[in-house]
Amino acid sequence: MTRRVRVLHVIQNLNYGGMERLFADLVRLLDRDRFESHVLVLGYFGHFAEGLEQFASLHPPPRLSRWSLVHPGALADQIRAIAPDVVHSHAGVWYKAARASRMAGVPRIVHTEHGRERPDPWLARRIGRLASGYTDVVVAVSDALAEQLRRTVVRYPDRVQTILNGVDTDEHAPRADDGTVRTELGIPSGTPIIGSVGRLEPIKGYDLMVEAFARLCGEEPQPAGPVLVIAGDGSERPRLVARVQELGLDGRVFLLGWRRDLASLYQAFDLFVMTSRSEGTSVSLLEAMSSGLCPVVTAVGGNAAVLGAELQHRLVEGLDPETIAAGWRDALAGEGARTRDGARARVRVETRFSLRSMTRAYEDLYSSVRKVPSPRRSAEKPPSM
């Protein structure tokens, strides 16, 4: 019997966000007859680690010194003890995980980039370029991100490949609103709900979303009209709460924090919006589209590729609140067109962004460890720029 390929996933934490949710789904779906999964966090486990021990061995973070980015010896020791065939790191831990894996003699090192800023800061590009020298395959979650990595980050462009994110289209299927969310929040039936799910971090542009909603409501918001519901958490939450109060939007903007009941939220939304400043392939966007929601999103990163030709008119060209509000206003005004675009969104995710297709692509990548020799180079001498 052929020994299973031992895959060690390295991630900062599993607390909240589309990347972390996708990571947990991938670990759960990997073929356990072919792959032995391990998960190592460098920070802490968090929400999405719950129940994951049924599918993988979970490893607590090593005690890393302040110099671990320069010489991640403790991390290399822990990786060496696990003895993986493949190390697969995810955004935020690339350089440290790749270098430690090379120090530990791991045969195959894979990294997935889930999104980068545009323009990418100089230091981030430099660290990414160094990390790419230790990495055998760099996965981008969209073609736009892959091109950015080839042009500005990865030392050997032929090591970059695209694997599109995917979501569970059965879990996120169109369903009638059962009223649970409206009852919880005190939102009357018939009041349009503009919804969003994501990390409350600057790159996701939730400050732009709040300002755009204020434009949509007018300078003196009235009780009637749409409400904005945002699920997610992050460092921007206190600032967003303060701005909502300053704008007099209490009772019109709901910041829910981290939620487990995303399917219920999607069925309550009338429109799904994102105002990201940069994006790879958003998991929340895919889930919302799979749920039959019409999307209105900023034209950044992989968003255009997710919407496709049939939904290009729902892209917002520009990152100013008035332009964003205009896009929402147009979608809210035409219920028939919004419904048709929601149906188109569902079909697009079913045909292009299934979770099973994504998982198979990663399984093929992990299986190649026995077919492709890994380049050997000293980890004590970083690759040249």
pLDDT band for position 48 (50/70/90)? confident
pLDDT digits (tens, 9 = 90+) for 349-372: 999 999 999 999 999 999 986 554
CB atoms within 10 A of CB 366: 21
Q: Which residues pair with 82 in a beta bridge?
A: none
pLDDT digits (tens, 9 = 90+) for 73-87: 899 999 999 999 999
CA pair distance 166, 350, nearest whole angstrom: 9
Total-model pTM? 0.82
CA pair distance 361, 385, nearest whole angstrom: 30
pLDDT, position 64: 78
- Give the Cα-Cα-Cα angle 349, 354, 360 (nearest 5 degrees): 155
Q: What is the side-by-side strand order in the sheet with 271-274?
A: 253-257, 227-231, 193-197, 271-274, 295-298, 315-316
Strands of 246-381 (E only): list them.
253-257, 271-274, 295-298, 315-316
Task: State phi, psi for 84 to the nearest 5 degrees.
Answer: -75, 155
CA pair distance 186, 184, nearest whole angstrom: 6
pLDDT band for position 223 (50/70/90)? low
Tokens of 24: 């947990």
Q: Classify residue 106 as exposed, middle or buried by CB count within 10 Å of its CB (0-12, 13-18, 19+).
A: buried
Helix boundaries (H) for 158-282? 180-185, 206-217, 237-246, 262-268
- 260-270 in b/e form (b: 16+ CB < 10 A) is eebebbbbbbb
Contact predicate 350/289, CB 8 Å: no
Q: Which residues contact 81 (CB under 8 A, 6 or more apart)?
A: none
CA pair distance 334, 297, nearest whole angstrom: 17
Task: State phi, psi for 239 to the nearest 5 degrees.
Answer: -65, -40
CA pair distance 262, 287, nearest whole angstrom: 9
pLDDT digits (tens, 9 = 90+) for 237-290: 999 999 999 999 999 999 999 898 999 999 999 999 999 999 988 999 999 999
Contact predicate 143/113, CB 8 Å: no
pLDDT of 92 above 50: yes
Tokens of 91: 């955004």
Q: Which domains does the chain have, with CATH numbers?
A: 5-166+355-370 (3.40.50.2000), 180-352 (3.40.50.2000)
Q: Classify residue 305 as exposed, middle or buried by CB count within 10 Å of its CB (0-12, 13-18, 19+).
A: middle
pLDDT of 224 above 90: no
| pLDDT, greater one: 311 or 43 | 311
Q: Classify residue 348 as exposed, middle or buried by CB count within 10 Å of its CB (0-12, 13-18, 19+).
A: buried
What would the mean pLDDT of 134-139 be, rounded to a whole number?
96
CA pair distance 245, 230, nearest whole angstrom: 15
Contact predicate 324/209, CB 8 Å: yes
* CA-closest candidate to residue 285, choices 258, 260, 314: 314
